[in-house]
Structure 1
Amino acid sequence: MAERVFGIGIIGAGRISGAHARAAGEAGTTRLVMASEVDDKRAHDFEAKWHVPVVSDYMEVLNNPEVDIVSLTLPHWLHEPIGIAAAQAGKHIFVEKPMADSIEECDRMIAAARANGVKLFTGHTEQFLAPNVKARQMIASGEVGLPVLATDCWYKAFGVAARPPWFLDRSKGGGMWLMNGAHMIDRLTYLMGDRVVSVKAMVQTRFHAIQADDTALAYLEFANGTGATIAHTGYKDHAGAGVDQPGGEIVITCTEAQLKIVDRNRLFRSVPGDRGGAWEEVVVDRVDTTTVELRALVSNIVNNEPETVSVEQARHIVDVMTACEMSSQTGREVRIDD
């Protein structure tokens, strides 16, 4: 019997939608059916490139019986209402991170997915990047000992001129923290192997006259007693020549060695016995994370198993991000009890 081919509908034809369109063609058991987009130029460009119909009303995607899975590549504030509508239409959901802007919104999305028997898969790519997967294996096997602490630094230009208006407004899910802080918290919980139990953080606007953050510094304490620091800035475009890190740099100090992940695609291990700071590269393959994620979601559907990126983990990341914002506002440590 031939494998079932799942129809993909994309809602939102912005910057990240191309990765989802490409994944639909490369995952092996999926095909791109259609998309929706309210901006005429983006709709025209998407249709011309991917050769599928693009409509303005997303309900046409949700009502199409050929669509089995919807990719939500939308501004963050639209994840919840359209995600719930997708669940009610019986569509499995592949939503870009973060799942939503608050844990209350996450809870409503999760409840809708469960009530309608569909999968809710959040695109936390860090769990699928080859350097992170290999580093986690090295830690889990005991090869580098137990994790003790980690630092995660990511400096980049904010690029205000190229950002859509919603990205400059926290009330619509904008700012660098919800965009890239989600990646950093995700990869640290993945690598350190446990959930966050408390945070002390500064999430501020230091470079730009916007209603969203561009700077964050946070300390995370994990349930297993380890800790990690996050430093992230979206500086003025002219201010950081030579500083930009496309994917950041993570250093994980373990009891027997250190691991370093650079720009999300290279992994290094400290050279045993060398006191001069030498590193040796651990060769890993590059992968198209969106394609790997889509394959994982299809497997979850076919095998009727929990999402590879669990809804609990995706919710936890939102909980940690909003706890960091609360800590910044109050100047106090915030405990996380999810």
Structure 2
Amino acid sequence: MTESFNTLKQKALTELQGVDSAEALESWRVAWLGKKSELTAVLRGLGTLPVEERKAVGAQANVVREELEAALEARESELANAQMSMAGDIDITLPGRPWLAGRLHPVTRIVNEISDIFSSLGFSIVEGPEVELDRYNFDALNIPKEHPARDTMQTFWVDDGAPKEARHTLLRTHTSPMQVRFMEKYKEPPFRIVVPGRVYRYEATDASHLPMFNQVEGLMVDKDVSFADLKGTLYEFARRFFGPNRKVRFRCDFFPFVEPGVEMAIECASCRGAGCRVCGNSGWLEILGAGMVHPNVLKGVGIDPEIYTGFAFGIGVERLPMLRYGVDDIRLFYSNDLRFLRQF
């Protein structure tokens, strides 16, 4: 029996050396190791042998099977290497492809950059809740219920269990509520903070508007703070963010929680002042509203406006990368198109 196993093994190995393709290798496996092969037939017939012979014959058969399986694996590897060498389009000495590394969203990077600029100017970074109370979002910011300014900041009301007309919880329309929250908590000026975060407004979507966007609120309160301090701070921010060559414009504007109020606009990067759909054919794109903190806001948190003054501003974050990179549609930042996002 041992001699028969040796003959079978030698015959199988000799035939294996002549195999030169994956199809032929599979045929060899079926012929010599498959369910109908001679070796499998021997193993199936062990039950008919006497007990004394069964153990010895089974052990020999298993040894032959293991040797043939090892030879099959080695030949399979040889054929694979030979095929790669013949193909000539794979260089096995090249390093492997690295895993793709993630990166921050361009809007997140801009928020971080804005925060870094104001941090270097002495401002602290604070955050606040996105689900806000009506009192902080409107009333404490000098926007009572009958004020027409509420019509410009329609928001998403949250079902807090109260009747619809009496609900007082909403998704904040700006990050300005943190002005009041911060001053209520710390009470004694000086204050110098910026507040980044998402805000929500129930409005139509177009090339420069979304129902959700990011904003960075700024607040400074101290003795003898003037409008010159506000303009100097914002000019310095614009110089650091956009460079010294971008034109900046201040114009009077109205915001209920500041007096006087201004808007700050930057020359449109898409048209360089000529006028396009991004800037509404004006050549300018407003990036923030600002002004001196209204005395009513200071009084509401127990700060004497005769002793302390301050300024506040709110920056629309998405408009900054639009201006810097010449992006003509704000919706591109949130379309999840990696072809666009990987450019930044």
Please state which band the TM-score falls in when normalised by the shorter chain: under 0.3
Q: Which has the larger radius of gyration?
A: 2
For normalisation by structure 1, the TM-score amounts to 0.22
Please state which structure has a larger fraction of its residues in strand. Answer: 1
